[in-house]
Amino acid sequence: MGQMVSDDKFEEEAARNGGIIKNGREILFQAFNWESNKQNWWSKLEDKATDLAESGFTSAWLPPPTQSLSREGYLPQNLYCLDSCYGSLSELKSLLHKMHEHNLRAMADVVINHRIGTTQGSNGMYNRYDGIPISWDEHAVTSCSGGKGNKSTGDNFDGVPNIDHTQTFVRKDIIEWLIWLRRSVGFQDFRFDFTKGYAAKFVKEYIEESKPLFAVGEYWDSCEYSPPDYRLNYNQDNHRQRIINWIDSTGGLCAAFDFTTKGILQEAVKGELWRLRDPEGKPPGVMGWWPSRSVTFIENHDTGSTQGHWPFPSDHIMEGYAYILTHPGIPAVFYDHFYDQGSSLHDEIAKLMQIRKCQDIHSRSSVKILEAKSDLYSAIIDEKLCMKIGDGSWCPSEPEWRLAASGDRYAVWHK
């Protein structure tokens, strides 16, 4: 599927089947980092729920809530046990209740590509699930990862049993569990982990059956770099097309993290802001082709935090937020930037969020790019808001534009 601009048929389906909130005025908060499991996290977040709601966030993505062999939650075993390193079930329920009171939706991190077994199967691998709820046998595990199921419909996640989503009994159990998370536990949104591991049509089915209010998938693919120095290529159309194809295969019911925008933006802010205009004059990420399904972000628990697999330059963070919080797409703010790097960063991000809300900038807002050169990027969004980032000096020429926010290498105006 090529560039997506018209959303109408997808909107109707999404409204019927859950998955995408229709008004496009979402701002997401990633409410953890890689070290959060070392604190009493659910209680800590409960103390921040009021501030998050007042700042304008609509949904908070929480870390995986299930019992897991890894402290961070990404090696789940007993899906119905919600006592984890982040806190107890009662502490989680208390957090979700507080969030609900503040009209802040809770997003569950859904890790269903793989699952750690409790007992050894016939080949000596731990790929049976005896003695816990959803007590699958080896037929629930793909043949590529040591099970007796079918071949995987995606990439293999090495070293652990990968779930075979082609099995009807597996999908039935996963759907029941997702419905339980929605109705009994109190999660409203879903984030699907490692979606390269299984076909997008299964995500579509899970969303249709469990009806989250909003869903986003992690389809993390490598951007294209050229030897010998492995600089990022200017054209990342193949990269964003793969993400768009994935979204399309979910029936448009699931948004996706805009890794294309992240990859381009973190190079652009280092004095290569020309990267932020594609050959058609549009934003160069998923945001430029299918903005209502693009969840823009500059950092997460994998790319940044203590893992630092693909970090955004730390001295350009506010330029990053000045870009994603003024542009179309669905912006997401990372915990570390909002709470762990001083009150001024918190307040600058919150100010940009307030401007976005007051000017009614949304996921489908139009962008007119005015400048995109090494040291300067400027754009007008919806004819209501004007912004610049970079070392270059620039301001709008018309007198009706008033400065609304400014900081290190960024400024935003509105009428």
Catalytically active residues are 193, 218
In this structure, are residues 146 and 127 in contact, taking their beta carbons and an 8 Å threshold?
A: yes
Residues 6+ apart with CB under 8 A from 373: 273, 274, 392
Give the pairing type, strands 367-373 and 385-389: unpaired
Tell me which amino acid residue 2 is: G
Residues in the chain: 415
3-state DSSP call for residue 296? strand
For 8, the token pair is 């109408």
- Owner of token pair 């229709």: 22
At 184 the three-state DSSP class reads helix
| Signed CA dihedral, 155, 157, 162, 165: sign only | negative
CA distances (Å), origin 238, targets 84, 242, 298: 39, 6, 20
For residue 45, what is the DSSP state? H
**DSSP of 247-275:** HHHTTT-SEEE-HHHHHHHHHHTTT-GGG
Taking the C-alpha atoms of residue 149 and residue 31, their distance in angstroms, rounded to an integer, is 35
CA 81/CA 181 separation, integer angstroms: 11
Residues ≥6 apart with Cβ < 8 Å to 383: 366, 368
Other C-beta atoms closer than 10 Å to the C-beta of 20 total: 28
